[in-house]
Amino acid sequence: MDNNDPLPLGARSNEVEKILVGLKRVVDYNVRVRVKSDGSDVETDGVKMSINPFDEIALEEALRIKERGDASEVIVISVGTVDAQQQLRTGLAMGADHAILVESDSSVDPLGLAQTFKSIIDRDGIDLVILGKQAIDDDNSQTAQMLSAIWGRPQATFASKLDIAGNKATVTREVDAGLEVIEIDLPAVISTDLRMNEPRYVKLPDIMKARKKPLELIAMADLGIDQGPEIKSVMFEPPLERERGVMVNDVASLVAVLKEKGLA
Amino acid sequence: MSKVLVIAEHDGVMLNPSTAKTVACAASINGAIVDIAVFAATAGPIASEAAKLASIARVVTYERSENKHALAAVIAPQIVAVAGEYTHIFGPSTTFGKDLMPRVAALLGVNQISDIMSVESSHIFKRPVYAGSAIATVEAPMDTILVATVRIASYSAVTSNNSALIESGSPSVVDIPTHTRFIEVKSGATDRPDLQTATKVVSGGRALASAENFDIIYKLADKLGAGVGASRAAVDAGYVPNEMQVGQTGKIIAPDLYMAIGISGAIQHLTGIKDAGTIVAINKDEEAPIFEVADIGLVADLFTAIPELTEALD
Ligand SMILES: Cc1cc2nc3c(=O)[nH]c(=O)nc-3n(C[C@H](O)[C@H](O)[C@H](O)COP(=O)(O)OP(=O)(O)OC[C@H]3O[C@@H](n4cnc5c(N)ncnc54)[C@H](O)[C@@H]3O)c2cc1C
């Protein structure tokens, strides 16, 4: 299936050998994000940073697949500044085998990310990619779909359940109408929804062990990636805030106000 | 001049209301010509609905058996094949559009703009980031095709008073991938108004404490003719199915009336209701953040207040 792989898919013990998981460093979901006064960005100085929650779920899923014996290696990758090593170390402590940091000081659009992941897929021979369905900073929800597009492989987005059998996977997706079930051929790209699993906590000894695991640094520039035409963020502003309204004392007053507004 | 192709969302039978809102966004680009494309196994009734939408020039149908279910891998290459005529391709920011449009963008070699909430010019838009804690103004290059999804809660549907031309497009993609196969959709379909289009929505949170207790929410909703939603905590706990989740990672809605019952008001929940007309909060904790955004607040135990309210609405 790919050049670096010694054996074709069917001939190996595991249909899925290597799983690639994206880990994005983002402002922690508990932080109340504020726009800088000059509107150039949001304030990220001195703010708590974490792994994007959806990516943690992606990693947990990959680890469970490996622990079931359905895969042999889990690789975590992050594209960003050197600071993202922190999140990769956490990923290694959770149980990933190998980490890759593609270093870039400027922000990379989803298409550029997809191209970056694709170059690692080609280099390392990846059978399954699991990404979060969105990053809670830019809320784009694009990278998994873009990666599967340029890879020419299936996508199963917003997944809450993933069953792998041979070189196929059955995926339950959380869609507006309910739960959609699709079957896909592997290799493929999965994007995780919140209810897929509950990520494990990292234990102290695992953090120590993770220090010895390989963390590879690659300069974005060395990959020679065409990031596609850039979408520029021109300005940031705070949203229109809703104002605090009135408090009523009892149900009767609530009904009265609703009736007055023609809402009941 | 802008020529926008809007990808219709439908369930194989009916046009989804998200399409009329996506058209509203597309039509707010100065001087834009807007077409709708319907990819379906049988497009007939869907196309007739689409042709009624105000501001559109024509509806083009692409019928083939593979289009029976909206699989991104199947539909994206067909959109790419007809993209050449257009400056913009828009889809709704529903799970349908979110799944499909980035695949289209990547095949076209461009980045995508997600969740347009306002059009500043043909290539400059506003969109929410950080769960709506900030609004970003973004600018796409003029010299490439622009692919985007539209935050449907930011737009009112265009009216249905048009009778645009319906054409059948010639499908030029021969190679439709077979690596992705639809199996089924399981939905807890109800007779209640659809959450995304309901003018009134009653939502319950973790405080309901069980699926059985959610009954009081349904009763109130039925009295009001409202749709029913929930917080993530209520969905995670299994009180209600996933399609009822409102918020950053659920549905973004804009009803005239939103009632948050036993919901604390986490930012991830609030981002889903920012555009609601009137927000009513009922919570036993007077410090609950939901009261900071509620137009009408009532500090009460929901287990007594909700039955009382349902009763009083007779
Ligand atoms: C990445 C990410 C994405 C998320 N996306 C979403 C999303 O899309 N939607 C969403 O909703 N959440 C989302 N969340 C979760 C969110 O942060 C909150 O945890 C969640 O909204 C809390 O749900 P809740 O208000 O029902 O529960 P709680 O926060 O536990 O609040 C329960 C409330 O009920 C009140 N209460 C308890 N008993 C009673 C009673 N008897 N009568 C009246 N009031 C009572 C309490 O005072 C409390 O305010 C997300 C979180 C993350 C990290």
What pLDDT score does A11 carry?
44
Residue-number span of the structural domain to which A131 is assigned: 18-260
Of A111, A146, A248, the CB nearest to B296: A248
- pLDDT for the residue B5: 98
Residue A132 lies in a domain: yes
Give the pLDDT score at A14.
Answer: 60
Instruction: Identify the bridge partners of residue B247 per DSSP, sorted by sequence position.
Output: none
Atom of ligand 1 nearest to the CA of B285: 47
Q: How far apart are CA A130 and CA A146, in angstroms?
A: 13
B298:A247 CB<8 A? yes
Best B99, B115, B126, B270 residue to mutate vs chain A (most A CBs within 10 Å): B99
User: To the nearest whole angstrom, how far is the Cα of B161 from the nearest Cα of chain A?
Assistant: 27
Structural domain tally of chain A?
A: 1
Predicted TM-score (pTM) above 0.90: yes
Please indicate whether residue B126, judged by its CB atom, sits closer than 6 Å to ligand 1: no
Q: How far is CA A251 from CA A42, B175, B208, B261, in A?
A: 41, 62, 18, 13
- Quick: pLDDT tens for A178-201: 999 999 999 999 999 999 999 999
Taking an 8 Å cut-off on Cβ atoms, the answer to whether B183 and A139 are in contact is no
| pLDDT, tens only, A4-27 | 444 444 444 567 899 999 999 999
* Tokens 């929650």 -> residue: A53
The CATH architecture annotation of domain B200-312 reads: 3-Layer(aba) Sandwich (3.40)
Pocket test for ligand 1, best of B195, B246, B269, B293 (most atoms within 8 A of CB): B269
Could you tell me which residues come within 8 angstroms of residue A98 by beta carbon, excluding any fewer than 6 positions away? A73, A74, A75, A76, A213, A214, A216
Residues 3-42 in A contacting B (C-alpha not used; CB under 8 Å): 27, 29, 32-35, 42
Characterize the bridge pairing of strands B227-230 and A188-192. unpaired
Q: Nearest-CA residue of chain A relative to B180?
A: A184
Give the residue ranges of chain B where pLDDT is below 50: none
Please check whether residue B149 is in contact with residue B91, taking contact to mean a CB–CB distance below 8 angstroms: yes
pLDDT for B7 equals 98
List chain B residues with CB under 8 Å of A250. 298, 300
**Whether the CB of B264 sits within 6 Å of ligand 1:** yes
CA distance B262 to B270: 14
B18 lines ligand 1 (CB under 6 A): no
pLDDT at A5: 45
**pLDDT in the model for residue B187:** 85
**Order of strands, edge to edge, in the sheet holding A128-132?**
A215-219, A98-103, A73-80, A18-22, A128-132, A188-192, A155-165, A168-175, A178-185, B180-186
Residues in chain A: 264
Every domain of chain B with CATH number 3.40.50.620 lies at 3-168
Residue ranges in chain A modelled with pLDDT below 70: 1-14
The nearest CA of chain B is from the CA of A185 a distance in Å of: 5
CB pair distance less than 8 Å for A239 and B135: yes
Q: Give nearest CA residue, ligand 1 atom 4.
A: B268
pLDDT at A8: 47
| Residue A32, domain CATH | 3.40.50.620
- Would residue A117 count as lying in a domain? yes
- The pLDDT of residue A229 is 84
Write the class of the CATH domain B3-168.
alpha beta
Tokens of B157: 């549907």
Contact A174 B296 (CB under 8 A): no
Selected residues 170-199 of chain A with any CB under 8 Å from a CB in chain B: 170, 173-185, 188, 193-195
pLDDT digits (tens, 9 = 90+) for B173-206: 778 999 999 999 998 778 899 999 999 999 999 9
Chain B residues with beta carbon closer than 8 angstroms to that of A191: none
Residue nearest to atom 45 of ligand 1 (CA): B262
